[in-house]
Structure formats: C-alpha cells, structure tokens
Amino acid sequence: MSKVRVLVGTRKGAFILESDGKREKWDVKGPHFAGWEMYHLKGSPADPNRIYASQTSGWFGQVIQRSSDGGKTWETPGGEKMPAPGGPPPGKSNHFLYDSSPETGKPLTTHQWYDGTQHPWEFKRVWHLEPSLTDPDTVYAGVEDAALFKSTDGGKSWHELSGLRGHGTGPKWQPGAGGMCLHTVVLDPSNPGRIFVAISAAGAFRTDDGGKTWKPINQGLRSQYIPDPTAEIGHCVHRIAQHKARPNVLYMQKHWDVMRSNNAGDQWEEVSGNLPTDFGFVIDVHAHEPETIYVVPIKSDGEHFPMDGKLRVYRSKTGGNEWEALSKGLPERDCYVNVLRDAMAVDSLDSCGIYFGTTGGQVYGSADAGNSWAPIVRDLPAVLSVEVQTLP
C-alpha cells in the first residue's frame, strides 16, 4: 500500500509525519534540529529518500541539511568529515556567495532599500529548496536577499544563477515587510530549461535557458500599493502553483488577488471571483484535476488571520472564479492563525490528499480532496512549510 510522508518546517525544528494510504493514523517524528528555524524541507522526485532542508537562525546563520534515508538521519553535505591533511577542502554547504564584479569584488548590482537608496545584496537565509525533477544531487535554493542558487553536488557547494539579478530590473527590486526573498521555484516538467520564480516584492520571472537569462512575467498583475499598479516589476507575488500535466497553466496567490495564466506567465488574468477576500499566501493544485485549485483566504494584509475567526479552505473546480468554502473539520470560531506561503501541499494518491500548516502549530490533512479535514498534529511550533511525498 502507498504511504505518505509530510515534511513540516517550523520556527523551532522539523517534524516528519507518516501514514499509510488511508491517512487516518499518523506517526509523528521530531523535532529534528530542535531550536532552529526550519524554513523548508523538500524531497527529491527522483529519489524519495533524498530530502533537503534549510536550517537557519538569526544567531548562527544558514545551514543546509541533507538526508539520504527518508529523514531518519541527516548530514551537512560535505561538512561532516574533518579534512585530511593535504586532502581536498571540506564542502561549503552553507556558503551562498553572490556573484561579484571582477573589477570591484563587490556583489553584482544593488537593489532599492526602504529609504529609496541603493543597497548591496546581503545573504540572509534560504527560503525554499527545489530539488531537480530528475537528478537527486541537483537542487535549487531561493534565498533572501532575492537570488537563485543551484547545487549539482547534493548541496555541498552552490553557485548563483546571477542572470536573474542581472537582467536589468534588479536595481528596482525592493524588500517587502518580510524581507526581499525568492520564495517560489517551479520547475517545468516538460521543458528542462524553463524555471519560474517569484520574489517579494519584485514579482514573477521566467527563464527558458536553464537560468542564464530571465524575463519578468507580470503582465496583467495589478497592485494598487505601488506607484504604477501595472508596472513591469514591484508586485508582491506570494506563491505560484502549477499542475505537472499542464505546465503552461500557472496559478498565483498575489498579495491581493488570485491570478491565472494560460501561457506560462506571459499574461495573467484575475480569477478571485466570489472569494470572501482575495488576500492570502498559499495556492495549490489537485494532483489529478488540473482545474481544481485551493487557497486559504486571509482577511487582509493588516490582519493576517481568517475571516470571522473561521478557518476555511476555498476550492475552485473551474480553474478559478467560482469558489466553494471547505470547512468540515476545520475550526468554525475563534481561529486567528495564518497559513504561510510554503505551508500547503498535495499528495498524489488516487483520492488526492491536501495538507496545510498554520502559525498556531496545527497541520491539517484531508484525504478526500478537501471535502473533510482533520488535524494531524495540533501543537507544533509555528509552521513555516509543508511538503508531501507520496511513497510506493
């Protein structure tokens, strides 16, 4: 029977939740890396035993962890062994160095700071790890300050795909309230050279040549909170989702507005429809129904909690515009948690499972595509990320 493994990153450690295909009884393991902020964990589609994790701390900085046995044991890639005298140097798994100008030695380009001045790029943390669809040793890292890094040696060393910052609009990017982070990385299963990324608060970008060159894909977005609401960049994109069977169709939860593109981001249209509020962070797609999508509406950018104290997932079976509230098993009163951008995922069992975590420490699961929900765990630290692996 198939199994599912839910990878949960929290403010104070990582947890691994496992169940069989019925998804009724759960085994909870953790905390791994207790006391550290675990921004994101994700398994390799090419080898489910390979899991990457972003371990970070305001005190101690960034560490990359890697498991090769499904999360039972972990290592810092290249950092475990004491280098032998005269031997090769240790890997630098936590070394994220922005590309520099050969003339000045300083990082390429600057970006706009809160006061309007130009500010150098400064690495802070890894927000999102996206393993290659085909190679367990290749993984991408979306980082703050916004940039995309790639490792082809299992996370031992990283190099920047600097064409993203260097394509021309980089000096106009500016941080949102949560920092200037590259938080979404979507790999196109039908085109190995195509990658989509999203940056707060710069917008969405696409490469068609494996990361050498990039272009903004924000046409159709409208953001009233920037001087030119339809500007080429400056939009606060919260999350992009894609169904692997239709990689040119993208769904986006923006700061405000739920959006859809039918042409790989070249043009977007709003599909917020009858949502009670179109602010939110997460968005995801049913594993088997490319037109069925899920969001968790949040009241507003000033009030990061559900409407009226009722935690509800909204589902559209029409690719947007027509939404239904899913509330069975979710709190119906006095609920004031948030659901952060990387904290929703779907499994690929026949009856698609949906999972999301809250800043109140709950992880909810639905084994019937959202019709009913139950808490898997209730009292974890604030949940930062949720990913799912469907195992044979």
Partner 1 sequence: MIVVVLPPHLRTLAHISGDVQLEVPGQITQRAVLDALEARYPMLCGTIRDQVTKERRPFLRFFACEGDLSHESPDAPLPEPVASGKEPFFIIGAIAGG
CB of 59 to partner 1, least distance (A): 4
Residue 12 found at the interface with partner 1 (CB under 8 A): no
Task: Give 2's contacts (C-beta < 8 A, 6+ positions apart).
Answer: 20, 21, 349, 390, 391, 392
Judged by CB, which is closer to partner 1: 75, or 232? 75
Q: Beta strand pairing status for 125-131 and 293-295?
A: unpaired
- Residue 128 DSSP code: E
Judged by CB, which is closer to partner 1: 58, or 302? 58
- Please measure the distance between the N-terminal and C-terminal CA atoms of the chain and give it in whole angstroms: 7
Tell me the two tokens of residue 68. Answer: 């090769």
Judged by CB, which is closer to partner 1: 89, or 227? 89
Please spell the DSSP secondary structure of 191-257, one letter per residue.
-TT-EEEEEETTEEEEESSTTSS-EE--TT---TTSSSTT-SS---EEEEEEETTEEEEEEEEESB-
Q: Which of 371, 228, 233 is nearest to 313 (CA)?
A: 371
In angstroms, rounded to a whole number, what is the distance separating the alpha carbons of residues 330 and 290? 25
Task: Give 192's contacts (C-beta < 8 A, 6+ positions apart).
Answer: 134, 210
Residue 61 found at the interface with partner 1 (CB under 8 A): yes
Distances from the Cα of 58 to the Cα of 9, 62, 218, angstroms: 16, 9, 32
Q: Among 94-102, 193-201, 331-339, 342-350, which window interacts with partner 1 (CB under 8 A)?
A: 94-102
Judged by CB, which is closer to partner 1: 46, or 382? 382
CB of 63 to partner 1, least distance (A): 7
Judged by CB, which is closer to partner 1: 61, or 229? 61
In angstroms, rounded to a whole number, what is the distance separating the alpha carbons of residues 287 and 66? 26
Residue 76 found at the interface with partner 1 (CB under 8 A): yes
Judged by CB, which is closer to partner 1: 88, or 302? 88
Quick one: which of 59, 87, 115, 379 contacts partner 1 (CB under 8 A)? 59
CB of 306 to partner 1, least distance (A): 26
Q: What is the 3-state secondary structure (H, E, C) of 58-81?
A: CCCEEEEEEECCCCCCCECCCCCC
Quick one: which of 81, 106, 159, 378 contacts partner 1 (CB under 8 A)? 81
Judged by CB, which is closer to partner 1: 58, or 227? 58
CB of 80 to partner 1, least distance (A): 7
Tell me the two tokens of residue 74. Answer: 């972990």
Q: What is the CA 248 to chain-centroid distance, rounded?
A: 19
Q: Among 46-54, 81-89, 260-268, 323-331, which window interacts with partner 1 (CB under 8 A)?
A: 81-89
CB of 177 to partner 1, least distance (A): 20
Beta bridge partners of 55: 38, 63
Quick one: which of 79, 176, 179, 273 contacts partner 1 (CB under 8 A)? 79
CB of 137 to partner 1, least distance (A): 19
# residues contacting partner 1 (CB under 8 A): 25
163 in Cβ contact with 171 (< 8 Å): no
CB of 139 to partner 1, least distance (A): 18
Q: Which of 185, 177, 166 is nearest to 111 (CA)?
A: 166
In angstroms, rounded to a whole number, what is the distance separating the alpha carbons of residues 141 and 2? 29
Site for partner 1 in 134-193 (CB under 8 A): none
Residue 120 found at the interface with partner 1 (CB under 8 A): no
Judged by CB, which is closer to partner 1: 35, or 229? 35
Judged by CB, which is closer to partner 1: 60, or 113? 60
Residue 220 found at the interface with partner 1 (CB under 8 A): no
Residue 245 found at the interface with partner 1 (CB under 8 A): no
Quick one: which of 22, 60, 113, 120 contacts partner 1 (CB under 8 A)? 60
Q: Among 28-36, 136-144, 180-188, 293-301, which window interacts with partner 1 (CB under 8 A)?
A: 28-36
Judged by CB, which is closer to partner 1: 78, or 216? 78
Q: For binding to partner 1 (CB under 8 A), which residues are involved?
A: 33-36, 57-63, 76, 78-83, 90-95, 97
